[in-house]
Amino acid sequence: MEGSWNYQPCRNGHPFPMRKADTCLDFLCKYCGKTLNVFTYHRCYAVNVYCYKCRHHGHFARMCSFHVKSCENPKPKKKSKSKSKIQRDSDRMRTFIEKKQMSQFPFQGLEDKEISSFTCSVQDESVKQHINKLKESNRNFIKEISILKCENSKLDTVVKDNVILRNNLDKVNLERLEHGRIIQKIEHELAEHASRTENFERK
């Protein structure tokens, strides 16, 4: 037997071992649960008993520590959600976020008809503004087209003038060549006339 012993003198002066009060549970048999007597032989009542908890012989079921040990350090069970529950939770969270975002809009308290009329009016105004912008851009395009047409007509006149000047230049070049030929012919005649006069003077 294990435990802390306390030897105290008795009334007649002879010491005898005693157990402390806080360790009185150590006197219980761990097989049958009966209180043990230290100075007398004790035969356990659970020697040939069959335990229906752990399926072993030698102890009562109330003293079996099979399930107690298993419960001392219980393993935490991992909770796993099914796909349907996960989808349901995600849908709920999405609807909650959408409602929270919608509550921040200024038209939260309006009805569907009021919202539709408001959106239609806003769309009409935006369409009108877009049409006005298109008209203004169309006017600008028309002005630019008229300016380009004027410049094109000016360029046409310049091209025509260039063609006329080119033709006149060709005519002038032809006349210059003709005059050069005439000059060469006259020079040749003058040279012949000068040679004749020299020959006539020598005679």
What residues pair up with 90 in beta bridges, in sequence order? none
Tens of each residue's pLDDT in the chain, 203 residues: 444 444 444 444 434 444 444 444 456 777 777 776 655 566 777 778 888 888 887 888 888 877 544 444 556 667 777 888 889 999 999 999 988 887 777 666 666 666 666 667 777 778 888 888 999 999 999 999 999 999 998 999 999 999 999 999 999 999 989 998 999 989 888 888 888 888 777 76
What six digits make up the tokens of 187?
A: 């020079």
Q: Say how many C-beta atoms besides its own lie within 10 A of residue 128's C-beta.
A: 10
Contacts of 16 (CB under 8 A, 6+ apart): 7, 10
* Three-class DSSP labels, 86-98: HHHHHHHHHHHHH
